[in-house]
């Protein structure tokens, strides 16, 4: 059976891995140059950094088992050891406090998108392939329009794993018989800023959650395990700051310099550094970072009879664990119809 997966993020690549090759011939179509999606790593002039998803916190027992298995296979490592939290209420900032969590935290070894390459190995991966439209031919299957051109190849099944706003656009531009939910989801953006310092921050924490601040998450990226030690030394390091989603929405994609200035100022203030400690920066704007806070997950959408399925992290939440849940639910639905 031939199956086309749109999107080579965690959901799409894991799904490709879960589908057994005896029964399925899997092709993945990805609009970007590589796989990983929002779990993405950037090779900048000053070193490598994870500019999308930073860590994988584990909530459920099933996902914990899955991650422990990956740990045994040396695909992920437990990291970080020390997490801190700080709050800002009415302009008053609390000092860093150690965040006691009962969850396990992991990172993918080498880079955050490395596992996607591993999971996509059994599939045919087509990069630089933007799916604009799809159409269904009775008894012949699914046809894809890639980069503006309808392809001759047909697929028995089609799975769309793009972020919900992009999945919705494909469906709205196509002739597809699929019941959409009565409610939708709005998504927020995120400015992610990598900052190279000319020194090492002496604080023992590697991950900071900031509540009510301009930055929401701050990560000592260069201390993640199994990273290439090309450009960082014991005298310098790279941190990645993610600006709060609401602030990122307000700034929009055009305000890169302002986003960098906010991130570097807050990082330096937090660790008592001067602005001169910052030697390099790299900024990425995620237009569709995650569903805006407080919304209902959309679940998996499908028409099993015609063989079309839509799912992703947004089906169950907005994290790597929800992308895993999405891939699990998709494979079950594809194989059994329920």
Ligand X SMILES: Cc1cc2nc3c(=O)[nH]c(=O)nc-3n(C[C@H](O)[C@H](O)[C@H](O)COP(=O)(O)OP(=O)(O)OC[C@H]3O[C@@H](n4cnc5c(N)ncnc54)[C@H](O)[C@@H]3O)c2cc1C
Secondary structure (H, E, C), the chain: CEEEEECCCHHHHHHHHHCCCCCCEEEEECCCCCCCCCCCEEEECCEEEECCCCCEECCCHHHHHHHHHHHHCCCEEECCCCEEEEEEECCEECCCEECCCCCCEEEECCCCCHHHHHHHHHCEEECCCCEEEEEEECCCEEEEEECCEECCCCECEEEECCCHHHHHHHHHCCECCCCCCCCCCCEEEEEEEEEEECCCCCCCCCEEEEECCCEEEEEEHHHCCCCCCCCCCCCCEEEEEEECHHHHHHHCCCCHHHHHHHHHHHHHHHHCCCHHHEEEEEEEEEEEEEECCCCCCCCCEEECCCCEEECCHHHCCCCHHHHHHHHHHHHHHHHHCC
Shortest Å distance, C-beta 298 to ligand X: 12
Residues in contact with ligand X by CB under 6 A are 6-12, 29-32, 37-39, 52-56, 130-131, 161-163, 166, 170, 190, 192, 242, 286, 289-290, 312-313, 318-320, 323
Nearer to ligand X, 14 or 236 (CB): 14
Nearer to ligand X, 290 or 328 (CB): 290
Nearer to ligand X, 236 or 311 (CB): 311
Shortest Å distance, C-beta 22 to ligand X: 25
Nearer to ligand X, 162 or 236 (CB): 162
Nearer to ligand X, 3 or 8 (CB): 8
CB 287 within 8 A of CB 253: yes
Shortest Å distance, C-beta 124 to ligand X: 14
Nearer to ligand X, 24 or 187 (CB): 187
Shortest Å distance, C-beta 320 to ligand X: 4
Shortest Å distance, C-beta 89 to ligand X: 24
Shortest Å distance, C-beta 286 to ligand X: 4
Nearer to ligand X, 24 or 286 (CB): 286
Shortest Å distance, C-beta 8 to ligand X: 5
């Amino acid at each position: 059976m031939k199956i086309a997966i749109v999107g080579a993020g965690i959901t799409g690549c894991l799904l490709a891995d879960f589908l057994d090759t005896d029964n399925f011939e899997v092709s993945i179509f990805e609009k970007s140059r590589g796989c990983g999606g929002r779990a993405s790593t950037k090779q900048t002039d000053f070193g490598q950094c994870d500019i999308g998803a930073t860590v994988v916190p584990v909530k459920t027992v099933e996902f914990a088992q899955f991650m422990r298995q990956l740990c045994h296979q040396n695909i992920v490592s437990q990291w970080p050891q020390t997490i801190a939290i700080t709050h800002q209420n009415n302009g008053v900032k609390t000092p860093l406090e150690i965040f006691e969590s009962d969850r396990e935290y992991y990172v993918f070894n080498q880079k955050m998108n490395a596992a996607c390459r591993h999971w996509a190995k059994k599939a045919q991966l087509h990069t630089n392939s933007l799916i604009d439209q799809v159409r269904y031919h009775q008894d012949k299957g699914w046809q894809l329009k890639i980069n503006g051109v309808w392809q001759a190849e047909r697929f028995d099944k089609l799975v769309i794993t793009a972020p919900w706003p992009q999945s919705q656009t494909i469906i709205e531009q196509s002739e597809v018989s699929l019941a959409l939910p009565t409610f939708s989801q709005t998504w927020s953006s995120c400015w992610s800023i990598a900052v190279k310092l000319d020194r090492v921050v002496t604080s023992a924490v590697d991950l900071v959650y900031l509540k009510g601040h301009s930055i929401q998450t701050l990560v000592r990226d260069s201390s993640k395990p199994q990273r290439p030690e090309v450009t960082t030394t014991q005298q310098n390091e790279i941190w990645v700051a993610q600006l709060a989603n609401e602030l990122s929405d307000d700034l929009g994609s055009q305000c890169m310099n302002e986003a960098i200035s906010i991130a570097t100022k807050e990082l330096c203030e937090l660790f008592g550094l001067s602005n001169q400690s910052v030697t390099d920066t790299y900024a990425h704007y995620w237009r569709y970072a995650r569903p805006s806070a407080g919304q209902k997950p959309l679940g998996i959408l499908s028409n099993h009879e015609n063989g079309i399925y839509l799912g992703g992290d947004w089906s169950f939440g907005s994290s790597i664990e929800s992308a895993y849940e999405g891939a699990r639910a998709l494979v079950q639905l594809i194989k059994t119809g329920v």
